[in-house]
Amino acid sequence: MGVVVSDTGPLIALAKVDQLRLLDALFDKVLIPPAVYRELLAKSGTEADCLDRALQDFIELAPPLQIPPEVTIATLNLDRGEREAVALAYTHKALLIVDERLGRVAARKLGLTVTGVVGIVIQAKMSGLLRAVTPILEEIRQRGYWLSDDVLDVAARLSGEV
């Protein structure tokens, strides 16, 4: 389904429940910028092995890029990983996977299409890759990735589980 660019958070969330393979199944190419790569290499939790396998298998490190001025302006309040992920998605005109609210706002201002870990899990269910959304999202949350009750309720409704 084309090229997707991911920020660090959604990759970690999926790795926490050993579901990074969903990205490989849903997209032709999964790109990350150098700052996201560095953030992933710094992980030492239970998700580290899953991240390492995905980095060797299907997640591609994009070369450093010159961030366009309009992206620099729109992403002033973001951390380096988010800024580079937005710039990479902007340059490739790709879907951006980001969960941080400020990152989503900046990306939308630049006309990017945005999803997050919840959207990926819902898409995986709709594609027949998962039977249910709620158990995966609950497990992600139990393993320390913040997802609000409201987000889980909306995900359950959108996936037809309520």
Contact 40, 51 (CB under 8 A): yes
Residues 99/11/107/80 CA torsion (nearest 10 deg): 100
Residue 82 phi/psi, 5-degree rounding, is -65, -45
- Give whole-number Cα distances, 122 to 26, 49, 75, 132, 150, in Å: 11, 24, 27, 8, 15
From CA 19, how far away is CA 14, in angstroms rounded?
5
**pLDDT-above-90 percentage for the chain:** 94
pLDDT grade, residue 14 (50/70/90)?
very high
Please write the tens of the pLDDT for every residue from 70-98: 999 999 999 999 999 999 999 999 999 99
- Can you list the domains of the chain with their CATH numbers? 3-158 (3.40.50.1010)
Please, what is the average pLDDT of the chain? 95
Please write the tens of the pLDDT for every residue from 32-61: 999 999 999 987 778 899 999 999 999 999
**Amino acid 44: pLDDT:** 77
**Amino acid 8: pLDDT:** 96
**Amino acid 45: pLDDT:** 78
- Buried b / exposed e over 113-145, threshold 16 CB at 10 Å, is ebbbbbbbbbbbbeeeebeebbebbeebbeeeb
From CA 139, how far away is CA 54, in angstroms rounded?
20
CB atoms within 10 A of CB 36: 25
Residues in the chain: 162
